Structure 1
Amino acid sequence: MTEDIFAAARAFLDREGRLIERRLASVLFDGADASGVIDAVRAYRNANGGFGHGLEPDKRCPASLPIDVECALGILLVASRGDATAGSGDPVADGLVRDACDWLASVAAPDGAVSLAFPVMERYPRAEHWSDWTYTPGLNPTAGLAGRLHQLGVTHPWLDRATDWTWVRLESGFEEDAHALIEVMVFLAHVPDRARAETVGAHVGEWLSKADWYRADPADPGYGLTPVHLAPSPDSPWRRLFDDTIIEGHLDRLVRDQQSDGGWPITWEPPGGASTLEWRGIETLRALRTLRAYGRL
C-alpha cells in the first residue's frame, strides 16, 4: 500500500510537477546532488538579487518579492537537508543568499520589517487573496525569513535588524493568524538566542489555540494549516504541542487525500491551470516528506 502511494506520487511529479519539485524529489529520494536544485532556483533570481517569476505560484509577477525570497530559502534548506553528496553547490558561499539579503535590506522598512509583496504584482495574474493586505510589513514574512537565514547560518546587517524587530513584536504579544504563527515558529526554532526563544516559545500553544486559519480537526475539509504543517516531522520542536491522536488523525487524512492521479489536492483557487499544477506538485512533495518522516512510507 505505501509503495503504491509513493510510486503514484512520484509518477504525478514526473508528469505534472515543475522542475524544482522533480529535482527536489531526486535529492530527497534518489540521493541526487543538491546542485541541480540550486540551479533551478537560480532561474527565478533577478539581477537585483531578489527572486520572483512566480516561484510562489499564486502570483505570476516577474519582479522580486519577499515571499519569493522566502520560498527560495525554503527550497534551498530542503535540498541541503536531503543532499547526501558532499561538495555540492553552496548557495551561501556563492553569494546567492547574501545577494538576497542585500535586496531585502533595500526594500525593508527602517526598522527591518518587510512585507510579503508590493503593488507591482497587480499588473499580473494573481489569486484573489493576494491583495493590498500583503503590502504591510509584518511577522509574515519577516520572522520566517529571519528564521530561515539563521538556519542557513547566515550573518548580515539586515538579518540583525529583522531579528531585533521580531523580538520586540513577539515580546509584546501575538494576535495574528496561523500563517504568521508558522513564520514565528520557524524563527523561534532557529534564532541563536535559545534562552529567549524558549521563554517566548512557551506561549506558542496558547497563541495557536486562538489563531485564525488553524485547522485542528482532521475531518475538516476546509483550508487551513494543520498540526502536520506546524510539526512536519517527529523531531520538530513543535511536535510537543500535539497529542499522538491528533497527529495520527492528520496523517490518516493526508493518506486519504491522495487523488487518483497520484497527486495531492489544494483547497484554494490559484490564478490559473499552470499555477494549480505547480501547487499540487509542491503539496505532493510536502505530503511525501511528511508521511516518510512519520514512518508512513
Structure 2
Amino acid sequence: MDIFTAGRDFVRRDARLLERRLFATVFEGADPQGVIDALRGFQNADGGFGWGLEPDKRCPDSLPLDVEVAFSTLIAAGARDDEMVRRAADWLAQLANADGAVPLCGPAVEGYPRAEHITEWTYQPGINPTAGLVGRLYQLGVEHPWRDQAGAWCAAELAKEFPEDAHGMHEALEFLEHTDDVDVDLVRDWLPKLQWFRADAADPTYGVTPLHLAPTPDSFWNQLFTDEQLDAHLDRLIADQQDDGGWALTWEPPGPASTLEYRGIVTVGALRTLKAYNRL
C-alpha cells in the first residue's frame, strides 16, 4: 500500500472528526465549512477553545494552547470564520497580562488528565504561545487590538534575545515572518543553540525539525535550510510511517484516546508536508 493510501486509511479509521474533516478538505476537495463546524464543538461560550482540542490535556476550560490549534486548523483548511476568530482574540485579550502576553495553559488543567510536561511552566505568559498566536492572526487576516498590543510586546522581547528552546523559536518565527525587519542570518546562526531542535534527520528523539519550521517549499523560513537538509528530513518522515498507516509520537499523551487523537493530527500534518514537497 502506498504512503498516501495507508495514511488516509489511518485517518479514516482512527482520527477524530476534526482531522477527518480537515483531511477531506485538504485532499478530497471538501468544503472547508466542515472544518469550521467541527471546531465549533471545541469553542466555549467565553470565545476561547478547550475540550482537549490540543489532546495533551483533557481540560474543558478555554486555554491559549487550544486557541492556537484552532487557528492552525483554520489555516490548514483555508477556512475563514472571522467571527469565530475574533471571539477567540477577545478572550485572549481578557486573559493577557498588561503587556498582552498569554500563557500556554493555566491551573485549570490540574483537575483533568494531562501529559507529564503540562505543568506550572505552561502557566507563565511568554513568547510561546503569544508570538505564534499573533502570527496566526496575521495569517488569518484578522485585525484585532490584542494582536497589535501583543505583537508590539513580542517585537520588543525578540529584539532583546531569541528563545532558548525550539518550541519558543518556532512560535517566534510564526510572528517574525509578518514583520518588516527579519535578520535571516541571525536566525540561522541561532538554530544550533536551541534546545530540542533536531537538525540531524537520523536523530530519532523528540524535537522540532526543519520541516516544522518550513512545512512547504514556499514557507518563508525555507531559506534557512539547504535542499539536502530538507530532503533528508522528508526521507525520514516517509520512513517513520508506521505499519498501521499513521505516524507515531515521541512523547506520552495522557491516555489511549488522546494518543490516537494526537496521532491523527500528526498524520494529517505529515501527509500535508509530503504533498507540499511532492513526495506523495
- Same fold by TM-score greater than 0.5: yes
Q: Which of the residues 120, 141, 144 maps onto 1:132?
A: 120
Structure 2 equivalent of residue 181 of structure 1: 169
Q: Which of the residues 56, 59, 71 maps onto 2:57?
A: 59
**1:175 touches 1:207 (CA, 8 Å); kept in 2?**
no
**Is 1:18 aligned to 2:16, yes or no?**
yes
Q: Which of the residues 109, 127, 144 maps onto 1:156?
A: 144
Structure 1 equivalent of residue 232 of structure 2: 249
CA deviations 1:213-262 (Å, max 9, x no partner) are 00011111100011111111111111111112211111111111111111
Q: Which of the residues 67, 70, 73 maps onto 1:72?
A: 70
CA deviations 1:87-106 (Å, max 9, x no partner) are xxx311xx111110110010
Question: Which segments of structure 1 move beyond 2 Å, counting only runs of 4 or more?
Answer: none
1:223 and 1:216 mapped to 2: Cα distance? 11
How many Å apart are 1:202 and its aligned residue? 4.0
Aligned length: 280
Considering only aligned residues, what root-mean-square deviation do their CA atoms show, in Å? 1.1
1:98 and 1:179 mapped to 2: Cα distance? 25
How many Å apart are 1:203 and its aligned residue? 1.9
1:99 and 1:126 mapped to 2: Cα distance? 26
How many Å apart are 1:162 and its aligned residue? 0.3
How many Å apart are 1:62 and its aligned residue? 0.1
CA deviations 1:97-150 (Å, max 9, x no partner) are 111011001000011000001101000000000000001100000000000001
Structure 2 equivalent of residue 262 of structure 1: 245
Structure 2 equivalent of residue 91 of structure 1: 81
**Is 1:282 aligned to 2:254, yes or no?**
no
1:170 and 1:203 mapped to 2: Cα distance? 12
Deviates more, 1:169-178 or 1:138-147: 169-178
Structure 2 equivalent of residue 87 of structure 1: none
2:227 and 2:151 mapped to 1: Cα distance? 33
How many Å apart are 1:176 and its aligned residue? 2.1
1:292 and 1:62 mapped to 2: Cα distance? 33
- What SS does the corresponding residue of 1:238 show, helix, strand or coil? helix
1:22 and 1:153 mapped to 2: Cα distance? 25
- What SS does the corresponding residue of 2:275 show, helix, strand or coil? helix
Q: Which of the residues 34, 37, 40 maps onto 1:39?
A: 37
How many Å apart are 1:157 and its aligned residue? 1.1
1:118 and 1:164 mapped to 2: Cα distance? 23
**Is 1:116 aligned to 2:114, yes or no?**
no
Which amino acid in 2 is paired with 1:237? F
* Unaligned 5+ runs, structure 1: 84-89
CA deviations 1:193-223 (Å, max 9, x no partner) are 42x2x24x44211221200000011111100
- Describe how 1:166-245 pairs up with structure 2 within 5 A: 166-189=154-177, 191=178, 193-194=179-180, 196=181, 198-199=182-183, 201-245=184-228
How many Å apart are 1:155 and its aligned residue? 1.2
How many Å apart are 1:24 and its aligned residue? 0.6
Q: Which of the residues 76, 85, 95 maps onto 1:107?
A: 95
* Unaligned 5+ runs, structure 2: none
2:142 and 2:273 mapped to 1: Cα distance? 27
**2:163 touches 2:169 (CA, 8 Å); kept in 1?**
no
Which amino acid in 2 is paired with 1:24? L
Which amino acid in 1 is paired with 2:147? L
